[in-house]
Each structure stands twice: as C-alpha cells, then as structure tokens.
Chains A and B, each alone.
Chain A
C-alpha cells in the first residue's frame, strides 16, 4: 500500500454518480412495461403451442383476431374502437415521453472535493426557512419556503406591529445559498404578506 490512501475514485465517476442521482432511472415504468409484455407473450406462446399441437384455442383465437383486424372498422362499435385506439395512443405517448424527457428530480448538487453530494430540494428549503425565520424574527409557522429548479420563494407573514426587513431576509437566504453553492443557482424572491398575524 502507498502512504496515501489508494485512489480508486476518478472525477469522471463522481460526475457520473451526480448525473445519475439527479435524473430518474425509469426503473418502475420499465418493470411495469416488462410485466405487461410478459403476460401478453405468455398468452400468445400458449396459443401458438396449442396451434402447433392442433388443439382448440384456449383464451384467444389467433385466427379470429386476425380476421377481426382485417375487417376493421366494421365488426366493432365505433365508440369502442375510438376509445380503445385513443387509450393506446395516450399510453404510447406516455411511454415515449418517459423515454425522451430528462426526468429531473427535485435535487441539487453541492460541489465537494471528496464525494458526490446530492441534496433533496426539501432539505434546502427547510434550511432556508430556518435561516429566514431567524433573520425575520418570526415563528416557524410564519415562514414558507418553496424551492424550485431555478427559483426560491420565501413567503413571510409578519407578526402584527413588527415590520420585517425583506431585504435582510433576502441577503440571509442568498448567503445560505452561496455557502451551499447549490447548482444551478436559483433566483430568490421574498414575499412579505400585507396582513400580520398575532404574535406567538
């Protein structure tokens, strides 16, 4: 062994870890699709085997289905054909969107020398809420922080008779964000409600 720990973590693999954590893996839709396809394949397999053995069809008569498809659009009520086709269309669009959309998760990454660091947006929001509450001098229930992908909104309901300095709150929140240096850096909006609440 070398005096310094043997390095087997490359920056590229760290970047890959972060990228994978920030995007959905599509594992659940994949498993559901696979299960449905397996069921369809099993039924067809069974029918094909029956055909090969010269037995009567069990669930689906493949030849009858083929004849039915050949006879479309007659042989089935228009409303039924329309709804069925529409459902297939929607399902197809849904799967295609799942395949093509980036599927970003509500997470941020924090630069770190040693590790890949990924933070849930919720954790960032609760940290900012705490900072904003301390700065504004209000109770936890009077602060609501919403964290989006590129924006942070801080809503404060001040205690009646005690004004809240929105600019100071913004500076505090900006300082917190800067220290985390979350990427991408969000835009900050501070909204102080017109009406106050009875102090706690």
Chain B
C-alpha cells in the first residue's frame, strides 16, 4: 500500500551485489590462479604510477596534496545524502486527508446520503473566487474536507462489530495520487476468507455511499498472534 520505490530498491541492491560479487571473485581469482597474480603484480605498479601522476598534476601551487581529496569528499557527501533519501523513501505514502470538496461539484439532486459527512459535503461549494458555484439551497460558499481519521474510524467501528473478526485496522495511503484505504482484518480461526472478503467489501460500499467517494481499497485478510491464541468459535 505504501509508495516504497520497489524498482529502485531492486536496482540498487543489484548494483551493490554485483560490486561485492566482483570484489570477492577478484580476491579468489588472485589467490587461486598464479597467472592472474603475476599479471596483477605487473599491472599494479603501473596503476600506482598513473594515480601518482594524476595527483601531482592536480596539486595546486603551494598545496601539500591534490585537490581531488576535496572533490572526493564532496562526492561522498552527495552519496551519503542520496543514501539517506533512499532510506527515507521506504514505507512512505500515508496521508491524513480522505477527500476534499470544492466548486467543481454542484449541489446534489435528491441524492440520498448518510447524515454527517455526505450532508455537509453535498450542500456546500467552494469559495474559489467569486465565480464559485452557488448551491441550490442557498448555502454559503466554502470547502469541505473529510479527514482520513473520519473514514478510518467509521469503517473500523463497523468492522469491530462483526463477530467473525478478532481485530481490524484501517489506514489511508496515497495510491497513484488519490487517497486509498488499507483495511487489515484479522478473522477468527477457521473463518472462510471469501465470506470475510464479501462482508468487508459490503461495509466498504456502505462507506462509499456515506462519503461519496469510491476510493481504491485494499483488504488484507491476515493472521496475527492474537488470532492464534483465540478459539475458533466463540462458544466451543
């Protein structure tokens, strides 16, 4: 459900893996093949000579050593920042906003919605400048937002009433730019997954009608430690 950069993870892991693999293979080859060791014995001084030449060429007047050290430090600093950003990108994407309504949506006509969220969301229109749409019941201009907590708690309360569920948790995440709900339910041991899925999706559809949004929803039917320690039936 989160926006973890999965492709990036795999690419970087592959690159680091190949580098480590190459280093290990080089060490083993040096150790086991005398011919390679002889070649390296000849090549290493030439490499050292080349590095020494570069160092003297890049040493400025009156300086003890090459400025390449500073360049190296700068490159390493950038690399460290990129790595920290990479770590920070893992598991992101949680959002606190379920929906926000503005002038694009005129007042509803004989629409039946649930009382709190739907009623207020339908009756207002936005104050984006003076050309905002005036709602039919003469309501004032404004914008309405439904926070993620409202949708989450409504759904969670409904889920926890079901006797076949031991626990449930609902959270809101960005899915391709729109808020989506992640519903995790922990059914009682032995509960049929299809029945649980049908039940949860029915509750989700009820939430759709209340909020007026058909959001992307992921239902995870999982098993946790709490499930393992509960009885299959409430009365056994």
Interface residues of A (CB under 8 A from B): 1-3, 5-10, 13-14, 16-18, 20-21, 23, 25-27, 29-31, 33-35, 37-38, 41-42, 44-45, 48-49, 51-52, 54, 66-67, 69-73, 78, 81-82, 84-100, 110, 112-120, 122-124, 126-127, 129-131, 140, 176, 179-182
In the complex, A129→B149 CA distance in Å?
37
In the complex, A96→B17 CA distance in Å?
5
Task: Let me know if B35 is at the binding interface, CB within 8 A.
Answer: no
What B residues does A51 contact at CB under 8 A? 65, 69
A66-B48 contact in complex given A5-B209, A127-B190, C-beta closer than 8 Å: yes
Task: Let me know if B111 is at the binding interface, CB within 8 A.
Answer: yes
Nearest residue (CB) in B for A37 is: B83
What B residues does A130 contact at CB under 8 A? 189-190, 232
A38 near B84 with CB under 8 A, answer yes
B197 near A5 with CB under 8 A, answer no
Interface residues of B (CB under 8 A from A): 1-2, 4, 6, 9-14, 16-28, 30-31, 37, 40, 44-45, 47-48, 51, 64-65, 67, 69-70, 72-73, 76-77, 79-80, 83-84, 86-87, 90-91, 101, 105-106, 108-111, 121-122, 175-176, 178, 180, 183, 187, 189-194, 197-198, 200-201, 204-205, 208-209, 211-223, 232
A120 near B221 with CB under 8 A, answer yes
A30 near B90 with CB under 8 A, answer yes
In the complex, A23→B10 CA distance in Å?
12
Shortest A65–chain B CB gap in Å is: 13
Shortest B26–chain A CB gap in Å is: 8
What A residues does B222 contact at CB under 8 A? 120, 123
| Main SS at interface, chain A | helix
What B residues does A30 contact at CB under 8 A? 9, 12-13, 86-87, 90
In the complex, A130→B176 CA distance in Å?
39
B193 near A48 with CB under 8 A, answer no
Contact of A48 among B10, B73, B216 (CB under 8 A): B73
What A residues does B176 contact at CB under 8 A? 10, 13, 16
Contact of A73 among B30, B84, B110, B198 (CB under 8 A): B30
